[in-house]
């Protein structure tokens, strides 16, 4: 799933994405927990009886008491609840991450929140996941090579400009850290409970997956992308998000008689009502679809009788309640 790095590639990005602190942070966290548990021991425990006799400042116990996480607890530290210690540990890990990302370009492009990155658990194909992970880790585009445009080498900044990523995703070209990572940082951390961002993902996610395929093709010109070109990009995530991505072949588009498009206050089309004949001749379905950039192929055939060319795949995004 992850390939294209070199023997000295940094693992800082993938550790942050998988919520794995550095060894130094783990040592501090374990030490703070150890000190906290010492003060919760019963009075007749062995260490509770020995603790008053420890007077040598060079003893390991005094080194543990100098733990910065332990010292950040409010006084009296011995009487604090476990949830206070947990909050201090989280705060320390967050501050450590913020300090590290100031000098690491790839790490600064990752999501600010501490947790397992959605790219590691959201439903997508192994190829899609591989491309996004390699992009995050800097292994895609990887080693610079001549771009297909013959104007520059395959750097991240050039590929974003060359492929028109910002325009295709519908975001500002000045989006930080860059249009691709800006969109990836908006991925849901849990299954959505409302449809507030559903239109955004139904338009953006398939386009983003296509952009990553094109980037992979440019950076690996000798690779085999037959499977990637035939698959429905982003279909697994959209299905999980509550939408179905349908592939239509010879599709007859016939508007409903005496029906006009519904308009909003700005005189823009809100939704169309029409009948599509799918791949099966007996399948006629009445759809009520909001206009999106992915519906661009349908702007021309809205007139009755228009037909798409034979064997030309067209994608429609359809909410499940339209079945």
284 pLDDT higher than 70: no
Stronger pLDDT, 272 or 127, i.e. the higher one: 127
232 pLDDT higher than 50: yes
* Per-residue pLDDT tens over the stretch 263-278: 445 554 444 444 444 4
290 pLDDT higher than 70: no
Overall pTM surpassing 0.85 (yes/no): no
126 pLDDT higher than 70: yes
292 pLDDT higher than 60: no
Q: What percent of the chain has pLDDT over 90?
A: 23
In this structure, how many other beta carbons lie within 10 angstroms of the beta carbon of residue 74? 9
The radius of gyration of the chain from alpha carbons, rounded to an integer in Å, stands at: 27
Shortest CA distance to 290 belongs to which of 298, 281, 278?
Answer: 298
200 pLDDT higher than 50: yes
pLDDT grade, residue 227 (50/70/90)? Answer: low
Stronger pLDDT, 260 or 177, i.e. the higher one: 177
* Per-residue pLDDT tens over the stretch 171-185: 888 888 899 999 999
The residue written with tokens 């939408």 in the block is 243
Q: How far is CA 294 from the centre of its chain?
A: 20
Stronger pLDDT, 9 or 277, i.e. the higher one: 9
> What is the Cα–Cα distance from 28 to 34, expressed in whole angstroms?
10
For residue 249, what pLDDT is reported? 38
Q: Look over the chain and give the mean of its residue pLDDT values, rounded to a whole number.
A: 74
Stronger pLDDT, 241 or 56, i.e. the higher one: 56
* Per-residue pLDDT tens over the stretch 65-114: 999 999 999 989 988 899 999 999 999 999 999 998 888 888 888 888 88
For residue 308, what pLDDT is reported? 40
Sign of CA dihedral 72, 74, 75, 79: negative
Average pLDDT (143-150) is: 82
Shortest CA distance to 297 belongs to which of 289, 319, 243, 267?
Answer: 289
For residue 261, what pLDDT is reported? 47
Average pLDDT (293-318) is: 39
């Amino acid at each position: 799933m992850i390939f294209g790095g070199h023997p000295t590639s940094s693992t800082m990005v993938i550790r942050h994405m998988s919520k794995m602190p550095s060894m130094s942070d783990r040592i501090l966290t374990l030490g703070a927990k150890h000190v906290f548990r010492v003060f919760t021991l019963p009075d007749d425990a062995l260490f509770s009886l020995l603790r008053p006799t420890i007077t040598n400042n060079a003893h390991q116990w005094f080194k543990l008491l100098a733990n910065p996480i332990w010292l950040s607890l409010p006084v009296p530290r011995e009487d604090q609840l476990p949830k206070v210690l947990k909050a201090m540990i989280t705060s320390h890990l967050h501050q450590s991450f913020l300090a590290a990302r100031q000098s690491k370009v790839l790490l600064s492009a990752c999501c600010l929140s501490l947790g397992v990155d959605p790219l590691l658990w959201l439903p997508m194909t192994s190829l899609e996941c591989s491309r996004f992970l390699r992009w995050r880790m800097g292994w895609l585009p990887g080693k610079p090579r001549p771009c297909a445009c013959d104007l520059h080498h395959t750097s991240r900044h050039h590929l974003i400009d060359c492929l028109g990523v910002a325009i295709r995703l519908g975001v500002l070209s000045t989006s930080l850290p860059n249009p691709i990572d800006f969109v990836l940082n908006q991925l849901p951390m849990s299954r959505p409970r409302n449809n507030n961002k559903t239109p955004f993902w139904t338009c953006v996610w398939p386009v983003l997956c296509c952009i990553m395929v094109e980037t992979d093709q440019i950076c690996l010109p000798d690779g085999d992308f037959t499977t990637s070109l035939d698959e429905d990009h982003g279909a697994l995530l959209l299905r999980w998000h509550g939408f179905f991505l349908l592939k239509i072949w010879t599709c007859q588009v016939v508007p409903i008689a005496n029906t006009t498009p519904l308009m909003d206050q700005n005189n823009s089309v809100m939704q169309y009502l029409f009948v599509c004949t799918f791949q099966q001749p007996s399948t006629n379905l009445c759809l009520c679809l909001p206009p999106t950039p992915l519906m661009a192929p349908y702007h021309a055939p809205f007139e009755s009788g228009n037909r798409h060319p034979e064997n030309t795949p067209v994608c429609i995004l359809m909410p499940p309640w339209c079945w």
